[in-house]
Structure 1
Amino acid sequence: MNVRMNWGSICFFMFTVLISELQGAVTKSEVFTTLQDTSFLRLKSSAAADIKSYEELSGALQLLSKLFGDKLKSAEKNLKIVLEKDPDDIEAMFLMGIVLRYNGKLDESENLFKRVISKDDRFFAFDFRNVWLQLGYVYKESKKYELAVDAFKQGAIINLQDTWPLIELSDVFIDMNRPEEASEAFNAGLNDIKDSKAIERLFIDVQDIASKTELAQWENLKSNEEKLQFIRTFWKKRDPNPIDPVNQRLIEHYRRLDFARQSYGRPLKPWYDDRGLIYVRLGKPDRVYFGKPRQDIKENESWLYDNIKTGLYFDFVDVGSGYQLRSLIDAADKSASMEEIIGVFDERATLHPYYQQMAQKIRTQADVQRIRAENDLNNIQTGKGGANLVEAFERFEKSQIGTQFLGNNTYQQDYIGNEVFAQQNQHFVFDFGAPHLPMNVNFASFKGQSKNSRMEFYFIVPFEKLNFIPDKNQLEKYTSNLKLNLKIYDTKYNEITSTEREVTVNSNATELKTHFYLDQIEQELVPGKYVMAVEIRNNEKDRVGIYQFVVSVRDYTADTLTVSDIELAQYVDNTLVKDKFVKPQTTLKVVPNPAAGILKDKPLTVYYEIYNLTVNNEGKSSYQVSYSIKMLDTDQSFLSSIAGIFSSNKDASTSSVTVKEGKSTSEKEYIGFDISELPKGVARLEIKVKDLLSNKETVSGINLTIVEDDKATSISKSNQENQN
C-alpha cells in the first residue's frame, strides 16, 4: 500500500512528538490507557443498553430471551472483558450484578453489589437505580425479606427527591404480610416519583379494575404530579376503611396481581392472560377444571365462582399467545370431530347444567344434520332427486367435522353473560376483625359562621345490636362502650377534619330491646363536595361498623332568599338546658331522626331554616310557606291525605299553605305532619317559601321512605335518646 505524506505533515508530526516528550505529557502507556478506557466505556455502555432492552421484555419474553436470545449473554460477555482487565471497575461490577440477578445467580449478584457498596455506598450508573435498590431486589428474590427492607430503606435515603424506593418497599411488606407498613410505604411512595415509566407501570397495575371514566381521565393527564394524584385518589376511593391505616383493597389487589403475573403470564402488558384478568377482578375461583387432553382440541380450562353468583363460570382456551376467554367450541381445531367437541362439554357435565345442556344441544343438532346428509345421499342413490352429489357429500362431511358445522353457531350467547358480568363487577371480601355493626346515618347543612356552612351528621344504633356487659356495681344494669371516629376528606381524599368520640351506654334489661343510641356531630365546612368516613366500634372488637358517604355542603353566602336542607326530627322542643341537640343561638332542641324509614303511624317532624327574607320599616318579614308530599313511583299528590299539620306556632291546620310574619331576615321553622293516610313507598317532601315583600320564591326538598313495619326502622322503637 502506498502512503503519501507531504513534508509539511511530517514536520508537524515530528515537532509534536518532540514537544510532548520534552514536556513529559504523553507516554506510550498513557496512550494505551486512554484507548483502553474508551474501549471499556464502549463495552459497558453496550452492556447497559442490552440490560435495558432485556428489562423492557415481559417475564415470558425474558425467558425466551435467555433461551434463544443474546441480550444478557452479550452484556455478560462485554462486562467480563472489562473485569478481566480491571477487576475493580465499579461500573462493570455494578452492571454485572444486575446481569447475575437476572440470570438467577443471586448469591454472586449479592456479593458484587456488596463490593460496590464497600467502594461507594451511594453508587449508581447508566440511569439504573442505585446500588442499594439493586441489592434490595436481590434480597427480595432470595426471600431475605428483612434484609430487603433494610436495603430499600437505605436506597430511599440516598435520594430523598425520588420516592419510588418506597413503592418497592411496600411490595416487600406485602410479601411479609405486614399490611399496615405496606399501605404506609405505598402512600408515601406516591409523593414524588421522577421516572415517568415507573408511574405508567402503576397505572398498568390498576387499569383492569379502573372504570371507563377513570381510564378516560388518565388519558388526559399530562404531568407526573397529575398522574400521581390520580393514583393516590384511585386507591383512596377504594379503601374500604380510610380511617384505618391499612388499605385492604390495595393489599389484596397487589397480591392477586403478583399471583396472576407469575401463574398466568403472557408477553404483552399487563403481563397476564385472560385467566389473570378474571383472577385480578374476582379472586381465586372456587373450582377449576382442566380439560382432558384430546388430539384435535386445544388446551382449555373452566373456572367456577359458586360463592359470588350462582351459575358464574368462565371457560378459557389456549390460543397460542396465552389463554383467552372463549366458548369451549373455540378449543376445537379444524379437524376436530363432532364427538370430540361434544366430549369437551360432556366431561364437565357435573360442574354446571350449562355444560350438559350444551353437549345435548350440539348432539341433537349434529344428529339432525347427519340425518339430512344421509337422506340426501340415499335420495341420490335411489334416484329420488334432491341435492346434487357434491352438495350431499359436503353436508355429510360437515356433519362429521365439528368446527365446520359449528362455524356460524349461536352457542356463544349462552355463555357471554358471564363475560359481561366480569367486565362490570369486581369481588373483594374484607375482614375487619369483628362482626358488622349496623348504623343509620343522615346529615343536613345550614348557614354557618362567616362564609362556611354548618354540616350536621346524625347517627343512630339500636341497643339490640350492641354487646352489653352486666354492670358490676348495679343490679340489672348493663353497659356498652362505643368509639366513634369520623373523618372528612375532600374529593382527592386529603383529610380536612376529624372527630373522635367515646361514650359508655347504660341500659336496663327492658331497654335492651327498645332503646337506641343517638348522636350528632357538627362541623363548619367550606361549601363543596366531601367524602365522609365513619368507623364505630362496640367494646373495641365486639362489633365494627364502617361507612362512607359523599356529601354536598350547600353554599349559603349568596344574598338571595334560601331554604336550608330539611332535617328529619323525632321531635322539637324548647329548652333552657344545654344539650347537644340544641340549635346554635336558640332554645330549640331538635332531636334528629336518621332512621332508614319513616313510620306511617308516627308524626313526621321536620326542621329547616330560612335566610335572607326582606323586612319592612318595622323590621318585620312576611312570608308564605307551602308543603307538598308526592309519591315518587306514582303521579299522585297526597296533599289532601295529610290529616293534620302542626307547626312551630302549634296551630293545627288542614291547609298546606301557611302565611307567617317574622322579626328578622332569618327564621328557624319546624312542623309536624300526620302521614297515616299516605301509602308506603318513597315520597318527596318539598317546602316552598315565598317572600311576600319581595315576591321572590325558593324551595328545598328531601326524599322519604315511608314504611309500616316497625322493624324496618330502629328509631321507631323508642322516642327517647340515650345521652351520655
Structure 2
Amino acid sequence: MKRIVLAITLVLALSIPSNLYAYSESFKGELKLVKRLTPKEQIYYFGLQYLLNKYQKRQYLSISDKREREEWIERFWAENDPTPTTPINERKMEHEKRVRLARRLFGMKKPPGWDKRGETLIRFGLPTARVRTWADISFYGMKPPGEIWYYKKLNMIIPFQNFNLKGEYIYAITPYGRSSRRELDRLQNVTDLLKNGVLQEVYPTEYMNFDEIKDLVDFNPEQIDYIADRDLKAETPTDMIARIEDEKKREAMNNFYKYMKEKPTIYSFELKHESMPLYFDVTSFRGGEAVLRTEINFEVPTKDIRFVERNGKLSGRVKLSALVRDIDMKPVASGTDEIEVTFDGKDVSKGPSLLPGKITLSLKPGYYRLGLEAQDENSDRFASYKTNIQLRPIEGDPYISDILFASSIKESESGEKFQKGNLNVVPHPIHAYRKGNPLSFYFEIYNLKTDEKGMSFYKVKYRINPITKRRKGPVLEEVPTTVSSSFETSGYGPTQFHHLSIATDNLWKGIFELVVTVTDRISFKTFEKRTRFSIVE
C-alpha cells in the first residue's frame, strides 16, 4: 500500500511545471535586470509585463537611467492610447486598476505578486461568473479544489486549481501518467483478456507490444463498458443535449488558449464599442514659410452610420478628431471636423456611398505619430487609428505636392468646405474608382523658374502603369503603360495649381500606379511624383 501511495505522489509531482513556483523569465537574464529596478518600478513592471513582448521588456529593462525609464513608460502608454485624441488614456486607467485589484484579491509575497487568478484578472478583467469547485478523491486519483471563471462576452471558461493547497491557484492541468492502482488494474485486464483469448479474436496481438495492448484495452472514448456486445452498445441512447452542451463548454475552454495566443489582453472599452470602418489619407501642400498645410482626409461608409429621423428627415453625424505627436510623443497639433448629412427620403442607399471629411493642420516637415478617431454620434460605433507619417520639405526646382485623389472636382465660389482656389475638391482617400468613372486628382507645382515678366513655362506628363496583371482567359498577361499623355502650358508665378480627370474605360480591376512628371521649360529640370489607386467593378 505504501508503494501505491508513493507512486501516486510521484506522478502528481512530475505533472507540475517547475515554473509555477517561481517567476518565469521571458528571456534569459530578465530577473537579473528586474533586480536593478527600484522596488516601486519592480511592482509596476510585473503588472505591465502582460502588455509587453520580450523585445519591449528587454528594451525597458536595459535602460540604466531612472528618468529615461519613466519617459519610456510615458511613450508606451501614449502609443497604446485607444483614444489618441483625448487627454484620457482608458487602457492605462483600467490596467492600473486591475493590477491594484489583483494584488489585493490574489496577492502573494513572491514575484509577480499574485497567482494565476491575478494574472487573468489583469489580462481580461473580472469574470462574469466565478464558481468555486471542491476537491474530489476517487479510487484512481485526486482532484484538488479550485475555481472556474466565465467571461460571457468572450465566451471563455478558465479553470484554476489550488494544487499545493496553500492558496496559490494555477491554471488547471491534466495530470500526466496514472496512479499505481490504475496501472495494476490495466495489467490485470490485459492478462484476463489474453488468457481468455478475447483480444486474439479481434486484434493481431502478435504484432503488438505489451504497452500497445494495454492502451488498446484502456481505450474507451464513449465511456461504454466494453463487456457489452456491439448490438447492446448500438442500442445505448445518446443524450444529444448533453453532448451539445459539452461541446459548447469545450469551445469556451479552448477560447482561453486562443485569446492567450492571439489577444492576450482585452479591456472593457474594446468590448463596449462596435468598430466602424474609416478610410483616410494624408496630403501636404505648401502652407507658408517652412510650414506645410497638412490635410487629413476621411471617408466614412454611409451604410455604417446610424441615421435617426428628425422633422421627417433622416440625419446622421460623425465626429472626427486628430492629434499629432512628435517622435518623443509630445502633442504638437490637433483638430476636429464633423460629417453631417441629411436625406429627405427613407432610403439612404440612394445617396452617396461614402461621406467625406477633412481636418487641416499646419506642421513643419518631419516625422510624426498621428492618432485619429471617428465617433458616430447616434450610436456606439467608433473607429480609432494610429500611424506614422513623414512630411517632406519642399525641396526641388520644380517640386510637386502630394497628389490628392478626389471623388469630384468642380468650379465653385469660395466658402465651400473642400475649397481650393476656385475649385471644390472633394477628397477620396480610399483611392478606389469604378471602371468607367473618371480618375480625378489635384496637385500643386512649386519653385518653377520665371522669365523677366514673371511667367513660368512647363510641361506636365502623366502615365498609368498596371501593378496588377490583366487576366485574359486563364492567363495573366504583362501589360506596359496603359494610359499616357502630356501637355505644355504656362502661368504667372512660380506656383501653379492643376487638376486632371482621366477616363478609366481601358483599365481593369486591380491596382495601378499613377506617375506625374513636371518639366520646367526654362531650367529644363524635372520632378516626378508617384502614387497608387485601384479600379473596382
TM class, shorter-length: 0.5 to 0.7
Secondary structure of the residue aligned to 2:361 is strand
| Residue from 512, 519, 524 that aligns with 1:691 | 519
| Residue from 270, 284, 305 that aligns with 2:112 | 270
CA distance in 1, matches of 2:183, 2:402: 68
Check the 8 A contact 1:266/1:272 in 2, yes or no. Answer: yes
Secondary structure of the residue aligned to 2:136 is coil
Aligned to 2:408: 571
The 1:211–1:702 alpha-carbon spacing in structure 2 relative to 1, beyond 3 Å, is farther
Give, in angstroms, the shift of residue 198 of structure 1: 1.9
Q: Does 1:497 align with 2:339?
A: no
Aligned to 1:294: 137
CA distance in 2, matches of 1:482, 1:416: 38
Aligned AA (2:182): S
Aligned to 1:525: 363
Q: Does 1:606 align with 2:451?
A: no
Aligned to 1:556: 393
Check the 8 A contact 2:318/2:374 in 1, yes or no. Answer: no
- Residue correspondence of structure 1 range 44-63 to structure 2 within 5 A: none
Give, in angstroms, the shift of residue 623 of structure 1: 3.8
Check the 8 A contact 1:240/1:249 in 2, yes or no. Answer: yes
Per residue, is there more helix in 1 or in 2? 1
Check the 8 A contact 1:441/1:595 in 2, yes or no. Answer: yes
| Residue from 524, 533, 536 that aligns with 1:704 | 533
Aligned AA (2:488): K
Coordinate RMSD, CA, aligned: 4.8
Aligned AA (1:552): I
Give, in angstroms, the shift of residue 306 of structure 1: 6.9
Aligned AA (2:517): V
Q: Does 1:197 align with 2:39?
A: yes
When structure 1 is superposed on structure 2, of 313-322 and 518-527 the one drifting more is 313-322
Aligned AA (2:533): L
Give, in angstroms, the shift of residue 569 of structure 1: 0.3
| Aligned sequence identity (%) | 19
CA distance in 2, matches of 1:271, 1:565: 53
CA distance in 1, matches of 2:47, 2:512: 44
Q: Which whole-Å deviations, capped at 9, do the CAs of 1:358-408 have from their partners, x for residues lacking one?
A: xxxxxxxx89x9759975999xxxxxx989xxx96x888899999xxxxxx
The 1:226–1:689 alpha-carbon spacing in structure 2 relative to 1, beyond 3 Å, is same
Give, in angstroms, the shift of residue 591 of structure 1: 1.8
Q: Does 1:669 align with 2:498?
A: yes
Aligned to 2:248: none
Aligned to 1:487: 323
Check the 8 A contact 1:563/1:609 in 2, yes or no. Answer: yes
The 1:318–1:679 alpha-carbon spacing in structure 2 relative to 1, beyond 3 Å, is farther
Aligned AA (2:53): S
Q: Which whole-Å deviations, capped at 9, do the CAs of 1:112-162 have from their partners, x for residues lacking one?
A: xxxxxxxxxxxxxxxxxxxxxxxxxxxxxxxxxxxxxxxxxxxxxxxxxxx
Aligned to 2:124: 282
Aligned to 1:337: 182
Secondary structure of the residue aligned to 2:269 is coil
Q: Does 1:249 align with 2:78?
A: no
Aligned to 2:58: 216
CA distance in 2, matches of 1:477, 1:607: 34
CA distance in 2, matches of 1:667, 1:370: 94
Q: How many residues align?
A: 446
The 1:288–1:466 alpha-carbon spacing in structure 2 relative to 1, beyond 3 Å, is closer
- Residue correspondence of structure 1 range 137-156 to structure 2 within 5 A: none
Give, in angstroms, the shift of residue 524 of structure 1: 0.9
- Residue correspondence of structure 1 range 112-127 to structure 2 within 5 A: none
Give, in angstroms, the shift of residue 431 of structure 1: 7.3
CA distance in 1, matches of 2:300, 2:67: 42
CA distance in 2, matches of 1:297, 1:252: 38
Secondary structure of the residue aligned to 1:240 is coil
Aligned to 1:26: none
Aligned AA (1:564): S
The 1:283–1:258 alpha-carbon spacing in structure 2 relative to 1, beyond 3 Å, is same
Gaps of 5+ in 1: 1-59, 62-194, 341-365, 379-384, 403-414, 642-654, 709-724
TM-score by length of 1: 0.51
Check the 8 A contact 1:489/1:495 in 2, yes or no. Answer: yes
- Residue correspondence of structure 1 range 397-546 to structure 2 within 5 A: 419=257, 421-425=259-263, 426-430=265-269, 439-461=278-300, 465-471=305-311, 476=312, 484-501=320-337, 506-509=342-345, 512-513=348-349, 514-515=351-352, 518-527=356-365, 528-536=367-375, 538=377, 542=379, 545-546=382-383
Check the 8 A contact 1:447/1:556 in 2, yes or no. Answer: no
Q: Which has the higher contact order (CA 8 A, sep 6+)?
A: 2
The 1:578–1:287 alpha-carbon spacing in structure 2 relative to 1, beyond 3 Å, is closer
CA distance in 2, matches of 1:560, 1:338: 87
Secondary structure of the residue aligned to 1:272 is coil
The 1:339–1:274 alpha-carbon spacing in structure 2 relative to 1, beyond 3 Å, is farther
The 1:494–1:510 alpha-carbon spacing in structure 2 relative to 1, beyond 3 Å, is same
CA distance in 1, matches of 2:150, 2:191: 37
The 1:596–1:692 alpha-carbon spacing in structure 2 relative to 1, beyond 3 Å, is closer
